[in-house]
Structure 1
């Protein structure tokens, strides 16, 4: 990969992390160095970061383009290894979903 492009991508991720400067739960500052890049595709970066203060985690998608940058994040209980492991799995099939539904019905589990 071109060295300039690699540097641009690295800077882009850093800038994207600055957009999420603090933990949404405890409002303490993140350390950008603690962010783990899970995957990069074109201009999109999937990043996992754990707050060093409250230990909650965020999974964020940072997208960089010529016209700007955007990010969307979600609070998760997954650690970085969980995310990597689950990413390797295929999508849930219809049969798996129906089997899970049947199990819930059989066990009379209700999440209301």
Structure 2
């Protein structure tokens, strides 16, 4: 039995991610972009041209075969690249976020923003009506 060459392995890996789990479309026209590669593993951002949903997939292609694990996302390729370059979340960041939510300040901020959004369209509508 002959060992598949590198091009065949890549093709085999891309075949795994050419299926959209949302709309069940199997398409060669999926927009697949490599985010990172290390050895035989690739992290890819794939977007379906039919339903426009996207997912991130780890694709592993080796002598045994190809395997992938994916997750649906609302992030675009550029969003993923931007988040990859940010610093990691530390334990102190998590504690600070927990304390912020515990104090209730988050709810006050959300309510203020919600009230501002609700009032703004009403004022705008009155202007149009000449009031």
> How high is the TM-score relative to the length of structure 2?
0.68
Highest CA radius of gyration, 1 or 2?
Answer: 2
Paired with 2:18 and 2:36, the residues of 1 have a C-alpha distance of 21
Q: How does 1:1-112 map to 2 (within 5 A)?
A: 8=6, 11-32=8-29, 34-107=31-104
Paired with 1:101 and 1:15, the residues of 2 have a C-alpha distance of 44
Structure with more strand by fraction: 1
Unaligned runs of 5+ in 2: 108-131
Unaligned runs of 5+ in 1: 1-6
Deviations 1:64-110, CA, capped at 9 Å, x for gaps: 1222221100001111011111112232100111111112222366x
Structure with more helix by fraction: 2
1:24 shift after superposition: 0.8
